[in-house]
């Protein structure tokens, strides 16, 4: 498959990130590597979306801290970004509404027509032919063509604005523009199929099987309209989990299970273990959290007490 015929994917991970761990970052990397190996997908961006403070989970620290820790954890990544939209809302948002927000944002900013996982779009997915004399927002110092092959929709903490990154892979430099900018009027894109997929661990997938925990209509949208990429954790078998839910069985083809090293060292890392290690002064915390996050936690005195 050529680059333009492959499905371009943005991975969206929702959660507490309390705190964000090396396991969370590796989840993105493992998912991207697996999707690329299938030969069917190109992952062009990753979004970390921390949950709102009103989620009400015991020991959940302020979103101000969680956003900062997430930003520190991904600062060396050239494709993963943190998006503060959930945290900036008046109250907690469902996973379904977060996915729909990013889909709508992408449409508004880039002129995207996102394909449904069941019915791939036959319409040009991004943009329309544009006037070449228009001023180009995309900028770089490498003297390459001004015709990007993909659009990255990436979150960036700052000034309460989500930001958009447009980049022609492979590129080292890119320009962020305001989310209200209409890139479709000043840029010309090749036609690509673009999807947002929910990225999660097998523990979240397993929660879909708990009666009454998830709204069934939301599950239909998440799995049926968007799709999921599941990274196995703690030796869990996602295929076995899916057999316990009629909705998961119905949309099984929309659930991509990462098949790599089942004994991956990051598959047992969790925020809970990280908090316990911090509370007990366990040196293994360096195996769970990146150093900038540890430094921030110690400086801000987070998780040191059992109360969080």
pLDDT digits (tens, 9 = 90+) for 35-84: 999 999 999 899 999 999 999 899 999 999 999 999 999 999 999 999 99
On whether residue 245 sits in a domain, the answer given is yes
Share above pLDDT 70 across residues of the chain, in percent, rounded to a whole number: 68
On whether residue 160 sits in a domain, the answer given is no
pTM for this model (two decimals): 0.76
On whether residue 24 sits in a domain, the answer given is yes
Number of domains in the chain: 1
pLDDT score recorded for residue 56? 86
144-184 pLDDT, tens digit per residue, is 333 333 333 333 322 222 333 322 222 222 222 334 433 33
On whether residue 181 sits in a domain, the answer given is no
On whether residue 30 sits in a domain, the answer given is yes
Share above pLDDT 90 across residues of the chain, in percent, rounded to a whole number: 55
- Full residue range of the structural domain in which residue 78 is found: 7-116+189-265
Phi and psi at residue 207, to the nearest 5°: -65, -20
CA atoms within 13 A on the CB side of 175: 12
217-244 pLDDT, tens digit per residue, is 999 999 999 999 999 887 778 888 998 9
Report whether 83 contacts 98 (CB < 8 A): no
State both tokens at 277: 């290690």
pLDDT score recorded for residue 178? 35
259-277 pLDDT, tens digit per residue, is 876 566 677 788 999 999 9
Residue reference for tokens 């004994």: 263
In three-state secondary structure terms, 229 is strand
On whether residue 98 sits in a domain, the answer given is yes
Distance separating alpha carbons of residues 225 and 304, to the nearest angstrom: 41
On whether residue 288 sits in a domain, the answer given is no
CATH number of the domain bearing residue 228: 3.40.50.620
Distance separating alpha carbons of residues 208 and 238, to the nearest angstrom: 11
pLDDT score recorded for residue 104? 86
On whether residue 149 sits in a domain, the answer given is no
């Amino acid at each position: 498959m050529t680059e333009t015929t492959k499905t371009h994917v943005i991975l969206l991970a929702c959660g507490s990130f309390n705190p964000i761990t090396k396991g969370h970052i590796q989840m993105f990397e493992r998912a991207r590597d697996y999707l690329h190996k299938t030969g069917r997908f190109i992952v062009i961006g990753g979004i970390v979306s921390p949950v709102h403070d009103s989620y009400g989970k015991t020991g959940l620290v302020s979103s101000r801290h969680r956003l900062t820790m997430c930003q520190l954890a991904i600062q060396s990544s050239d494709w993963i970004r943190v998006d503060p939209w959930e945290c900036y809302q008046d109250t907690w948002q469902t996973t379904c509404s977060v996915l729909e927000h990013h889909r709508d944002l992408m449409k508004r900013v880039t002129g995207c027509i996102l394909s449904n996982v069941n019915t791939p779009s036959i319409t040009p997915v991004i943009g329309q032919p544009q006037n070449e004399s228009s001023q180009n927002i995309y900028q770089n110092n490498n003297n390459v063509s001004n015709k990007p092959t993909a659009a990255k929709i990436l979150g960036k903490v700052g000034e309460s604005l989500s930001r958009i990154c447009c980049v022609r892979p492979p590129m080292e430099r890119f320009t962020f523009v305001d989310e209200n900018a209409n890139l479709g009027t000043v840029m010309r894109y090749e036609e690509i199929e673009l999807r947002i997929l929910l990225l999660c661990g097998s523990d979240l997938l397993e929660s879909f099987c708990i009666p009454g925990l998830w709204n069934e209509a939301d599950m239909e949208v998440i799995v049926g309209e968007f799709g999921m990429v599941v990274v196995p954790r703690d030796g869990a078998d996602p295929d076995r989990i899916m057999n316990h839910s009629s909705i998961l069985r119905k949309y099984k083809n929309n659930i991509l299970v990462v098949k790599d090293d089942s004994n991956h060292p990051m598959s047992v890392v969790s925020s809970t273990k990280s908090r316990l290690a911090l509370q007990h002064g366990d040196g293994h915390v360096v195996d769970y959290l990146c150093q900038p996050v540890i430094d921030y936690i110690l400086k801000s005195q987070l998780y040191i007490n059992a109360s969080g």
